[in-house]
Structure formats: C-alpha cells, structure tokens
Chain A
Amino acid sequence: MKGKRVLIINRGEIAIRVAKALNELGLVSVGVWTDNETEPPHLEYCQEWVHLKGNNNKETYLDIPKIMTLITDFKIDAVHPGYGFLSENKEFSETLAKKGIIFIGPNPVAVHKMGAKDISKQIAKEAGVPVVPGSIGEVPTVEEAIKIGNKFGYPILLKAVAGGGGKGMRPCYNDKDVRDNFAAVQREALSSFGYAALLVEKYILNPHHIEVQILADKKGNVYHLFERECSIQRRHQKILEEAPSPFIGTDEALRKEICETAVKCAKAVNYDSAGTVEFIMGEDKKFYFLEMNTRIQVEHPITEEITGIDLLANMIKVAFGEPLDFKSQDDIKIHGHAIELRICAEDPITMLPAPGRIVGFETTFPQGIRFDHCIYPKFTITPDFDPMLGKLIAKGFNRDVAIRKIKNALDGLIIDGIKTNIALHKVILNEKTFIKGEYSTSYITTIKPQEKVAAKEEIQAFMLKVAAIEMNQVGGLS
C-alpha cells in the first residue's frame, strides 16, 4: 500500500482530513485545484497539486471524463471522493473499476444498490428491516407523485434519488405543493448530483434522525461503531450532531437492536468500506430504515472520538485490502460523549448562506477539542460551494462535560468578516430542550433558537473594528 498515489477529488475540510490520513499511512496525497478556487487551503496538506480545469462543479468535481484523464496523466492508483460530489455516483465507481483504479469506498455494486435510494429501500425490506412507506423506484412525473401523495396521505417528501446531505429534498403538504416544487427539486438534483430522478415517501412528523456507523473489510467482516444522533437540522441538513444518542440514552437493548439492524443492511449488499445506515425513530422508539450513505460522512469525527478508531485511515486501509486496526466487534466500545457543531458561513437568524471574505480568525480552545476546518484569514467564501467551513468537535467524559467544553470552545472561536452560525450554536447549547437531550428533527422549526440570537453589544464591536482598521493604517505596533 505504501507509496501508492491517491487522488483526492474533493475540497474544503474533508480534503484536508483525507490528505492527513493518506500522509499518515505513507501514501502520496494528490490534491486538485480549480479555476474558481485557485488557492484552496487543502493543498497545504497534499504532497502533489494537480489542476482540474473548469469554472463550475459540473466542469470540475463532477466531470468524470476529465477526472479519468487526470488519473491517467498523473499515474494515480486510487481515488478518495470525500463526501458529496461523486462520492455516491455509480457511474464513477464503475468507470474506476473498469480501469483498475481503486475507489476508496465500497464496491460499485454496493454503491449502485445503496447509493440509489429507491433500490436501497427494496433491499432493506427484503432483509427484514422496517422502511418508511413511499414510492418503489423513481417517480418520473408530477402526476405520479401526486397519486402517491394521495395514496399514503400528505405530507410527503420529494427526494433526489442520488441525493444526500439534505440537498434536493422538499416536503409537500398538498397537490399544489407537489406541482410547485417538482421541477425545482429535479433541477437541484441535476446541479448537485448530476442526476435528476426523484422519489417520493411519507413524511414522518417530529422524528429523531439516528444513524449507525459501519466499517467493513473486503473479507466479509462488517462491524458497527455505534450510533450518532443528528436530529438538529435546518432545511433537512444537520447542524449539530452527537454520539451516542441522548434519545436512546441508557436503553442498551434498543442501541443493540438498531446497531445490529444496520449491520444486517450492510451485509445485504456485501458492504466493504466505511458507510452509514440512517434511520428515523419516532417518539415511540420504533425506527425505520431511511437510506445508507456509501461514503464517509461529515459527522464521522464524533464516532472517532467516542470509539478511538480512525475511520478515514481504516477506510483507506481496507480499500487496499489491508486489515482493520481492530479484530472484533468486542474491541469497539463507547468511551464518553462527543458533540460536533457545523460552522457555516450563513446568517445565524435566517440560516441562509452568506458568502464573503474572512478577515480575522482566532482560536482559543480547552482540552478535548478538535477543529476540522479550512479557514484562514483572507479566505473568500464564494457561492460556488457549500457554506460549511469546519466542524468543531468536543469530547467529554459524559454529555454534560462535552457540552461544557464545546460552549467554552465556541467562546474562543472568532471568525471575523463574514456572518457565521456561531451565535445560533451558542443559543442552542444554552437551550433547555437541547440540554435535556429531548430534541427531534422539528427542533429548529418548533423551538426556534434562531429567534433568540441577540445582536452583539454593538458599540464595543464598532470600537474593535475601528481599532483593527487604525492598527492597519499605522502599520501595527512595533
């Protein structure tokens, strides 16, 4: 495995995380840069930098023929797709397999079966895993979607077949909603994932989003690394995650049941990499299979923190046929509690993306903090990419300690020049439903922490800005 050349076909914090793991394992990390991001911070961690020509994602991170040319030209042995972009694209994994290039992820058949949400549901059903009622396969027309809406009863959810991360997904409450949103979700699906097909399912109210981390090797061993709770979401996108789930809490029988169900799903497709089985759990603690993400996920660090297992390194090792760092399910234990906050360039109240230029960045963190990010002063956030800048992760002896640590870390995280959701996270961490651990996915829409985001003490903020500008004028202090 040592010395093999691995192309990272991603950007931002995940490209940095992958590059670090590759370097640690003695592989050659090859990063890319594009014409709409000529100074990406992830290159700092890559041993080789390659130009991926193009001005938008369709011409760069989603352009399979162009990526295949790079692979040939630069003698690449393996590819890590990160998350998003081509990470769950069956055409990409098949093309790589045909050329004999290692895809650091599951085999193409698993990507195909689980990556396409319509087929995955059928497989889960056949494996005896409960699923949410919905369309079987792709829904080609608005009329078809309306028919399903009336069959299962509204609300329903329109979802991109190739989707994930909350993109290309909208709830509809009546026939008119479906008519208004169908074409828009198709367009979002096409621009984000390169594939426009949609599916429809029943929308369960106030569920908990609980997912189980899977790690499997090429010899048929499938392990789980316990669950994560990701119920705090806006626009179906997670903003705060924790492991283990406070909703499952001390119910070890339920924890065992959901984790073993996830292993069953993974085994049904001969899964052989890192992946995540997502479930929704109702108030009655009944859970349904939602989808399986056949890639590394944004929130993987909290699982790494509570289990002590490096998911990225293990994912890379198994792709090259090497053994995992551990030998049995009994080697994997939960130690303490971890919380992750997604730090995004967005308005803390409206939660809409707010691109801009970072002019200042400072961190002062307590013990137990990890910050996976791509931030640096003078970094310009453009509307071309996702607004997530980094992930602040706290590990504590228990949940209370993790909350205490992450609150202190947030006070020490200063990003100047752009709007961020730091102020929103501060409200959530002090809100009683969150502290009790009793929140569901409707948290943002019902508790509305965004409405409690207060304006800062403005005059003091003005003085500090003036001080910074004046320091710049006089060339700083000697």
Chain B
Amino acid sequence: MRYYFINQDMKEFSLDVEVQAGKVMEFAYEGAKTKLFIKKLAGKNYYSFDQVAWKKLPSLGVNETLVSNSEVYKVYRGYKPSGLNKGGAGALITHMPGKIVKLYKKEGDKVTKGETVLILEAMKMENEIKSGADGVIKTVNIKEGQAVEAGFLMIEIEE
C-alpha cells in the first residue's frame, strides 16, 4: 500500500508499506527498507524498530492529518488526489476556523500588498488578514459576522 503525505506548501512524500500478519510492517522509502514491529500491551499498541526498545503508538489513526510540530500533512491512503490548489498571493484563504469581524473592502475595490482587507476572529483573537498582492478585488465570498471553516476562500484579488 502506498501512502502520500502532502503539506500546506504542497511538499509531498510517499511511503510504501507492507503489513505482515498485522505485527510487522515493512516500509520502503527512497529505496531503503525499514521494519517496524507492533506489540499490544495493556490495551495499547507499542512499536519498535529493533524489538528491544518499545514506545507507545498514541494515534488512533482516525483522522487523515499528520501534525509534526508546525507542519500539517494531509494523508492519502493508496491514491494521490488531483486538482489540489494552493491558491496564489491574490487568494485569501482561512488557515483556521473563525468569524469575520470586519470587512473593509468590496468587489471592485483596489488593494495594495500588505493592506488589511478584513479582520478574522479566531479563539478570542483578532487577526488582520492582509492582501498578498496589489490588485483589484474580484470576488468576495464572505460577509461581516459570518463563521468560516478552515481552508475557505474568502476573497480573490486579481493582480
């Protein structure tokens, strides 16, 4: 089975895994092979690379996101998605769910790079969302007071 990991910046890793009897997993990454052993103890899964040193495997594997400090990877099992679009400097996309507190611009308005276009409140903090490019507002998909999910395209700016 091949796994794909793709982060916010479209950095991509792929990893092959072969599971043997549910207890040994053999990984292939860039030509090198690594064996990972799994053992159940007191209701929890433990892993080891050498069958001597064991550590808890904490993840339940229920979500398809891997968080490594500040990097977030989407995990795809067995396929690589097509049509992933990061959006250019003119696309204002939410990085976390929040609420639009203030919208300073409307469609057709001119903006300059670094100018505050709107204020997004998330976790009791107000974040100024600034334009990434000089241009004209092409589309506005939000209004004041609206709650938005992460990854939502709020505003498009035509450069």
* B is bound to A: yes
By a beta-carbon cutoff of 8 Å, the part of chain A in contact with chain B is 167, 184, 187-188, 191-192, 235, 347-350, 352-357, 359-362, 364, 377-378, 382-387, 414-419, 423, 453-456, 458-459, 461-474, 476-477
Q: Is the interface of B mostly helix, strand, loop or mixed?
A: strand
Q: Can you name 13 extra interface pairs (CB under 8 A) apart from A359-B59, A360-B59, A384-B123?
A: A350-B70, A352-B127, A356-B65, A359-B62, A377-B60, A458-B68, A458-B71, A462-B29, A463-B27, A465-B61, A466-B3, A467-B36, A472-B62
Which residues of A lie under 8 Å from residue B44 when comparing CB positions?
Answer: 362
Q: Is B97 an interface residue (CB 8 A)?
A: yes
The reply to whether B122 and A477 form a contact with Cβ atoms under 8 Å apart is no
The reply to whether B23 and A477 form a contact with Cβ atoms under 8 Å apart is yes
Which residues of B lie under 8 Å from residue A423 when comparing CB positions?
Answer: 69-70
Which residues of B lie under 8 Å from residue A167 when comparing CB positions?
Answer: 124
The reply to whether B17 and A386 form a contact with Cβ atoms under 8 Å apart is no
The reply to whether B71 and A455 form a contact with Cβ atoms under 8 Å apart is yes
Which residues of A lie under 8 Å from residue B73 when comparing CB positions?
Answer: 462
The reply to whether B68 and A456 form a contact with Cβ atoms under 8 Å apart is yes
The reply to whether A468 and B69 form a contact with Cβ atoms under 8 Å apart is no
Known A-B contacts A386-B124, A470-B25, A476-B40; A354 and B56 likewise in contact (beta carbons under 8 Å): no
Q: Is B38 an interface residue (CB 8 A)?
A: yes
A470 to B20, CA, bound (A): 11
A465 to B25, CA, bound (A): 12
A408 to B17, CA, bound (A): 32
Which residues of A lie under 8 Å from residue B98 when comparing CB positions?
Answer: 383
The reply to whether A467 and B126 form a contact with Cβ atoms under 8 Å apart is no
Q: Is B121 an interface residue (CB 8 A)?
A: yes
The reply to whether B34 and A463 form a contact with Cβ atoms under 8 Å apart is yes
Q: Is B66 an interface residue (CB 8 A)?
A: yes
The reply to whether B61 and A472 form a contact with Cβ atoms under 8 Å apart is yes
Which residues of B lie under 8 Å from residue A463 when comparing CB positions?
Answer: 15, 17, 25, 27, 34, 36
**Chain A proximity of B55: nearest CB distance (Å):** 9
Which residues of B lie under 8 Å from residue A184 when comparing CB positions?
Answer: 119, 126
The 4 closest A-B pairs by CB, nearest first: A360-B58, A468-B61, A468-B59, A353-B123
By a beta-carbon cutoff of 8 Å, the part of chain B in contact with chain A is 1, 3, 5, 13, 15, 17, 19, 22-23, 25, 27, 29, 34, 36, 38-40, 44-45, 47, 56-73, 75, 77, 96-99, 101, 119, 121-127, 150
The reply to whether A419 and B67 form a contact with Cβ atoms under 8 Å apart is yes
19 contacts between A and B (CB under 8 A): A188-B124, A347-B70, A354-B96, A355-B122, A356-B65, A359-B59, A360-B60, A364-B56, A383-B123, A416-B67, A417-B63, A462-B5, A462-B13, A463-B17, A464-B57, A467-B25, A468-B58, A468-B60, A469-B64
Known A-B contacts A359-B62, A416-B58, A471-B57; A453 and B69 likewise in contact (beta carbons under 8 Å): yes
A418 to B63, CA, bound (A): 10
Which residues of B lie under 8 Å from residue A470 when comparing CB positions?
Answer: 1, 17, 19, 25, 61
**Chain A proximity of B44: nearest CB distance (Å):** 8
**Chain B proximity of A59: nearest CB distance (Å):** 14
Which of chain B's residues has its CB closest to A419's CB? B67
A252 to B25, CA, bound (A): 60
Which residues of B lie under 8 Å from residue A387 when comparing CB positions?
Answer: 123
